[in-house]
Amino acid sequence: MTERVALCLLCGHPHSKLFDRRQSFGREVLNRLCTNCGLVYQTPRMTAGELDEFYMAEYRQTYQGSEEPSQEDLNTQKARVVSLLDFVQMYIIEIHRHLDIGSSAGVLLKSFQKAFGNQMVGVEPGTAYRKYAQSQGLEIYASLDEVLQEGHNRFDLVSMAQVLEHLLNPVEYLRSLREEALTLKGCLLIEVPNLYAHDSFEVAHLTSFSAHTLGQTLEKSGFEVVALKKHGWPRSHVVPLYLTALARPAQDKMPAKVKPERMVALKRKVGLLQRRITARLIPKRAWIPKT
């Protein structure tokens, strides 16, 4: 059972055109380009119920071949956290309460707690990873709704690394974070694959962001971007596979109209061509071996 996305997830426009068609883990995945704002999103896609079941029981097995955290995956998470922590410490001096959504094995939570001495709470829908993190003494819930129902005080940092692209409605979700979970002067830390360098189009990736559409999504959700960087860590020294952004609740009125992005298909072709050339010329810098 699948559902079609009738309106663009960013601007609400009804018209789109086919952008990419491929197989991903045995499923046909179609991504379309909004002809108004340039957002790329998957349609048709799994329903909310199918996605819940997928992340609880299938996601890790499908992507990693195991429900349990592997040493390779833990090493990748530790390497990713180094980049995220360095980025945050450039702009944030102190954190009192930290919520990590998509907290996985809890590596990011523990690293930030060590650096800032903050309280920490996580959200991880995957049962095996959630139980693993809980066995490490971490407070981990299956959903944001569970966190809010527990009556937790608001957080001055909410992080979402490699999560936003998986959500059914990114703008709606970010708005709920701003309105219900984040303090007025809190910060939102986001990391997503970069449409113009990453393969991007996987069955679990419902939206594919460029730096522009990520920024517009944050603004549409009532945030202002503090900083945004393109980078490849922990997979590459030089290929900008990822986008990392830090944002705060906007003090001004939300923008009435989304600023469109043009030449999206051309930008992706150029970006992927640059990636191939870089990998051929400096392979050891382009791709970091997994450990």
Q: How sure is the predictor about 291, in pLDDT bands with cuts at 50, 70 and 90?
A: low
Structure tokens at 188: 């939102």
Position 278 in a domain: yes
Min mean pLDDT across 104-108, 138-142, 177-181, 256-260 is at: 256-260
Position 50 in a domain: no
Question: What pLDDT is stored for residue 285 in this prediction?
Answer: 95
pLDDT tens digits, 259-271? 999 999 999 999 9
Residue pointed to by tokens 């990419």: 20
Position 57 in a domain: no
Question: What pLDDT is stored for residue 1 in this prediction?
Answer: 64
CATH of the domain at 182: 3.40.50.150
Instruction: Judge whether residue 173 has pLDDT over 80.
Output: yes
Number of domains into which the chain is organized: 1
Position 34 in a domain: no
Q: What residues are paired with 21 via a beta bridge?
A: 30
Q: How sure is the predictor about 255, in pLDDT bands with cuts at 50, 70 and 90?
A: low
Angle 230-170-154 from CA coordinates, rounded to 5° = 95
Position 281 in a domain: yes
Tell me the residue range of the domain where 150 lies. 71-249+258-286
Position 17 in a domain: no
Question: What pLDDT is stored for residue 265 in this prediction?
Answer: 98
Pick the residue with more confidence: 288 or 19? 19
Cis ω for the linkage preceding 193 (within 30 of 0): no
Check if the beta carbon of residue 241 is closer than 8 Å to that of residue 197. yes
SS3 198: coil
Check if the beta carbon of residue 227 is closer than 8 Å to that of residue 132. no
Q: What is the pTM of this model?
A: 0.95
Structure tokens at 131: 């139980």
d(CA 206, CA 229): 22
Check if the beta carbon of residue 48 is closer than 8 Å to that of residue 55. no
Q: How sure is the predictor about 256, in pLDDT bands with cuts at 50, 70 and 90?
A: low
Position 202 in a domain: yes
**Mean pLDDT along residues 249-253:** 84
Q: How sure is the predictor about 56, in pLDDT bands with cuts at 50, 70 and 90?
A: confident
Position 229 in a domain: yes
Instruction: Judge whether residue 43 has pLDDT over 90.
Output: yes
